Amino acid sequence: MSDKPSYPGNTIMVRPAGPLICGSEKVVVVQDEQGNVIERAQELALCRCGRSKNKPFCDGSHKQSGFDGEQEFRDERAENISGHTGELVITVKPNAMLMFTGPVTLFSRSGNSTSTRLRGALCRCGGSQNKPFCDGSHKGCGFRG
């Protein structure tokens, strides 16, 4: 039995003090700002602490860094995704956030926080006060990646 909630379609699970686990019944596409595909997979882990040596992917650096990424969140911009289909596409913005498009369910590993969206911006510098969402902290913290 799995220790995490299960949702159909595209998902982004927020791990406590860890990465974003992105999954799909079909495929998750990670691309650069020009649309060049970096990775296509059914499941992958994206760094949200800002310290990975393999950005945008997680390399486990959050374990040694003391990253305080809470898994629970509130989403003021939730959208109804009923009837929407398509791939989850994540665009890596240089020295900034992860932009995502496509119908997706975001949830905490505990299952206490859930939301649905068609698009959004996720923090990857580790500094947002609205984790897992980007609040622009990358602009002031010197994030590079």
Output the pLDDT for position 68.
86
User: Cα separation of 130 and 119, whole Å?
Assistant: 16
Range of the domain at 60: 11-141
pTM given for the model: 0.94
Domain membership of residue 73 (yes or no) is yes
Number of domains making up the chain: 1
Domain membership of residue 5 (yes or no) is no
Domain membership of residue 127 (yes or no) is yes
Domain membership of residue 4 (yes or no) is no
Output the pLDDT for position 7.
87
User: Cα separation of 119 and 49, whole Å?
Assistant: 21
pLDDT at 138 over 50: yes
Output the pLDDT for position 3.
62
What are the pLDDT digits (tens) for 17-64? 999 999 999 999 999 999 999 999 999 999 999 999 999 999 999 999
pLDDT bin (cut points 50, 70, 90) of residue 1 is: very low
Contact 90, 33 (CB under 8 A): no
| Four-CA torsion 128, 134, 140, 143, nearest 10 degrees | 90
